[in-house]
Structure 1
Amino acid sequence: MAAILEFRHMSRQSVFLSLGFRPFFLGAAAHAALLLPLWLALYALGVHLPLRFEPLVWHAHEMVFGYTGAVIAGFLLTAIPNWTGRAPLTGVPLGLLFASWLAGRLALALGSTFGPLASLVDIAFPVLLAIWVWREILSSSYRNGTLVGAMVTFFALANAGFHVQYAIGGGYVTGYRAGLLAIAVLISIIGGRIVPAFTRNWLVAHGAKEQPRVSPRLDHLVIATTVLALAVWLAQPYGIAAAVLLAAAAAVQSWRLAGWRGFATREEPLLFVLHAGYAWIPLALTLLALAAVFPAVPATTALHALTAGAIGTMTIAVMSRASLGHTGHPLTADRRLTACYVLVGAGALLRVAAPWLPVGYVTAVSVSGLVWAAGFLGFLVRFAPSWLSPRA
């Protein structure tokens, strides 16, 4: 009881650095809410900023390595201590890691001033995160996190590769695709653990007899097929080989998702959004397969199904559930939070459909980006007080 009372009287600063989800989810939400409107000002209005990259390259990097990197950090810094039984990263070390992430965002936004130094600043954060992940895994008896550690390491290497490729020749797509590979596999691994588990708990609590279908063999098949398909896509995104493997990965992903009984959870948006977010993975793989062989399907459509759709929806779903649970609030979505889910999902759908909408491409992209960002702005307003306050 004394410890609880002491915690309740912690300063706001110490509360903010008491667990990784607090600073990193706050940073991620703020970044998502600001990134799209700022990008649209650059894209549609011709606003100038002293960026490290061209505006399109900066937008691609910050969606994958800036925003998603913060979500990955916040989730793993909170989840890994539960997996390993080790103490979480808190206080000054956590603050320094968060400062490293924030420095990367500022360095790239002002990169023409700092030159190559901006890239070095940005490369540091995911490398530091990967080092921490491996330290925690190897210092415990928990070995189920090995693949997660490998993907975080690959994510860090992809970010470094993005910068190196750009510095050498001005390109970026290999590092960008590699980052997407790492994220898609992480969603497949972690989603495969938490979505059926949370669904089972909810269905049992509501007296349902049928439970989610879970098969370790199917899980392994999903991960192996997805890794193989995206590895081939990384090497050669066009052609029949990539199309066949991506379609196969989409099929096994869809089969696994169908067994999780997501439609039965539609009465609880906090849970249903996890299923909806994961559904973007097989959809994105399908669109990537089509784009590999049919020029009528733009590659950017498939990429935004993966970024705005899968990453956007799945991350807001995971962040909201983790934030509610770790701040002592009921695990249910109120109307404001549900509206945030709808906005992010609608923004993603509009962005994927943008090439075919009758309003003009620039207008469609602008509207979709503002709708998507509005969802994260609402999410930021909804949870910022919880991230800055002691557990309820």
Structure 2
Amino acid sequence: MTIRSDYRGPALFSGGFRPFFLAATLFAIGVVPAWYLAWRGEIALGGPFPAVDWHIHEMIFGYGAAVVAGFLFTAVPNWTGRLPARGWPLAGLLALWIAGRMALAGALPLPPTGVLAIDQAFLLAVVAMITREIIAGKNWRNLKVLVPVSLLWAANLAFHAEVQIEGTSDLSRRAGTALLIFLIMLIGGRIVPSFTRNWLARAGAQRMPVPFNRFDALSIGAGTIALVAWCLVPDTPMAGLASAVAAGLHLARLARWRGMATWRSPLLLMLHAAYLMIPLGFVGAAAAAAGLVGLDVPSHLFGIGAIGGMTVAVMMRASLGHTGRNLVAGPWLTASFVLVLLASLARLAGYEPLLGRIDGIALAATFWAAAFALLAARLTPWLLTDKAAVRRPNARGPNTATKR
């Protein structure tokens, strides 16, 4: 990637991942406990959404959108060979994101249409800036990534409309989740086996992950069909069958990436564990369509397990690599990821008590907040300071630092 040597501004705005990974991480610490207290009636939110809809919206279009932006503004310069966005453009975009969060929480005295106008501006600006960079760099093959991001913006508009018309979100909340899952299937399906192949090669392994081929395309296609059915008709046999097929294909896809061979690298194993939550989410969707579990089960397997797990794992790896640190998770980051997965499992228990009088919802909120508190404690100093000198191990091996 070309580096702009004349940048002299704050380190926070020297790379796209820095402001948005930091914002997403800090936001995630408080947003779930705030929803829990609002849901219990202990605090009041002044925005236009009911507490549950505010929670769902902010996890998808607040937290999720920030991580997507951070990833794209870091990846696109690698794709195009152009200089990365830095300085005022990133600061302005971050200000848009913060304004959206304030508007949805009722901190800005605006009518619902005013809240919508501010909230939708962030993803629209992201799409516009990424489009400009890809076209300017003539990187036509990566234009396809704009489709799910643009649809995510449209799903945000639909979410606002659905809440105002119907009183609560339904289809749009599943659509937003499904689009983030699609991005994980598409982009995660490239980076997970790629990182695994690099690590195994340094470890001297003989067997490598299977390269992307028609089976991967088939898996993504089947997953897309299942996600569309889950969005539109989640409680029908068609959705159940499509989800069951997608679950099997994505389990097979994951097995081809040789994840079990990476057990000595927790940072890499996290990516495989997070991707595993996608087929488990499809299993949950199939079970929900058959009436065996509630419709909230696949939502939380996808939302907390797959999206939460993958975004945490990617933010860890990108922050380590792009700030000049060795790709080693250490106990704090490992514990953070484990807590996210525990939060997804605890949430499935719902109102059932798990630890004394603590039910699954309270425990999931606690695990989630603790996970991001640990993540913030490690990432914040790195994201706010200049890039460190890469510290390479003395001996060559699986833990050798890389930039990716």
TM-score in terms of structure 1 length: 0.94
Match of residue 223 from structure 1: 220
Letter in 2 for 1:185: F
CA gap 1:361/1:258 in 2 versus in 1, 3 angstroms: farther
Task: Report what 1:381 is aligned to.
Answer: 377
Which residue of the partner structure matches residue 365 of structure 1?
A: 361
Give the superposition deviation at 1:220.
1.1
Q: 2:174 aligns with which of 172, 177, 180?
A: 177
> Matched residues in 2 for 1:336 and 1:105: separation?
28
1:235 aligns with 232
- In 1, the alpha carbon distance for the partners of 2:298 and 2:357 equals 16
Equivalence for 2:129:
132
Report if aligned partners of 2:16, 2:71 keep a CA contact under 8 Å in 1. yes
- Higher mean C-alpha deviation, range 71-80 or range 349-358: 349-358
Answering whether residue 165 of structure 2 is matched by residue 201 of structure 1, we say no
Counterpart code for 1:345: L
CA contact (8 A) 1:242 1:292 kept: yes
Partners of 2:89 and 2:272 in 1: CA distance: 34
User: Which whole-Å CA distance do the structure 2 matches of 1:5 and 1:155 have between them?
Assistant: 34
Per-residue Cα deviation, 1:74-126 (whole angstroms, up to 9, x for no partner)? 00000111011122111111111111111100110016831221121101111
| Residues 42-121 of structure 1 mapped to structure 2, 5 A cutoff | 42-44=38-40, 46-110=42-106, 113-116=109-112, 117-121=114-118
Q: Alignment partner for residue 207 of structure 2, among 206, 210, 217?
A: 210
Deviations 1:274-325 (A, max 9, x none): 000010001001101110121x301112110011110111000000000001
Q: Distance in 2 between matches of 1:361 and 1:87?
A: 54
Deviates most, 68-77 or 170-179: 170-179
Counterpart Cα distance in 2 of 1:291 and 1:143: 39
SS at structure 1 position matched to 2:296: helix
- Indicate whether 1:256 and 2:256 are aligned: no
Once residues 181 and 94 of structure 2 are traced to their aligned partners in structure 1, the CA distance between those partners, rounded to angstroms, is 23
Residue of structure 1 aligned with 2:151, choices 150, 154, 157: 154
Q: 1:221 is matched by which residue type in structure 2?
A: L
Given that residues 352 and 359 in structure 2 are in contact (C-alpha distance below 8 angstroms), is that contact kept between their aligned partners in structure 1?
no
Confirm or deny that 1:331 pairs with 2:307. Answer: no
Give, in angstroms, the shift of residue 127 of structure 1: 1.1
The correspondence of residues 275-314 of structure 1 with structure 2, limited to 5 A, is: 275-294=272-291, 296-314=292-310
Distance of 1:362 and 1:53 partners within structure 2: 27
Note closer, same or farther for the CA distance 1:118–1:141 as it changes in structure 2 (3 Å cut).
same
Shift of 1:165: 1.5
Question: What's the CA shift for 1:29?
Answer: 0.1
**Structure 2 residue ranges without an equivalent (≥5):** 389-404
Q: Is the 8 A contact 1:247 1:289 kept in 2?
A: yes
Distance 1:25 1:302 in 2: 26
Q: Distance in 1 between matches of 2:101 and 2:357?
A: 28
Partner Cα distance (1:6, 1:144) in 2: 30
Name the structure 2 match of 1:41.
37
- Once the two structures are superposed, residues 318-342 of structure 1 have per-residue CA deviations (whole angstroms, 9 ceiling, x without a partner) of 0000000100000111111111111
The DSSP-based 3-state class of the residue aligned with 1:49 is coil
Flag the structure with higher helix content: 1
Question: C-alpha separation between the residues in 2 aligned to 1:361 and 1:238?
Answer: 32
Whichever residue aligns with residue 195 of structure 1, its letter is V
Q: Is the 8 A contact 1:354 1:364 kept in 2?
A: yes
Could you tell me which amino acid in structure 2 is paired with residue 291 of structure 1?
A
For 1:53, what is the secondary structure of its paired residue? coil
Q: Find out whether 1:350 has 2:346 as its counterpart.
A: yes
Tell me the CA shift for residue 357 of structure 1. 5.2
Structure 1: gaps spanning 5 or more residues: none
Q: Distance in 1 between matches of 2:256 and 2:357?
A: 37
Q: Measured at CA, do residues 243 and 360 of structure 1 come closer, stay the same or move farther in structure 2, by a change above 3 Å?
A: farther
Shift of 1:215: 3.3
Distance 2:81 2:4 in 1: 20
CA positional deviation for 1:49: 2.3
Aligned residues: percent identity? Answer: 41
* d(CA) in 2 for partners of 1:330, 1:358: 38
8 Å Cα contact 2:13/2:90 also seen in 1: yes
Matched AA of 1:56: V
Query: Which region of structure 1 is more displaced relative to structure 2, 167-176 or 379-388?
Result: 167-176
Q: Is the CA contact 1:32–1:376 (under 8 Å) kept in the aligned structure 2?
A: yes
Partners of 1:360 and 1:162 in 2: CA distance = 37
Give, in whole Å, the separation in 2 of the partners of 1:336 and 1:342: 10
TM-score, scaled relative to structure 2: 0.91
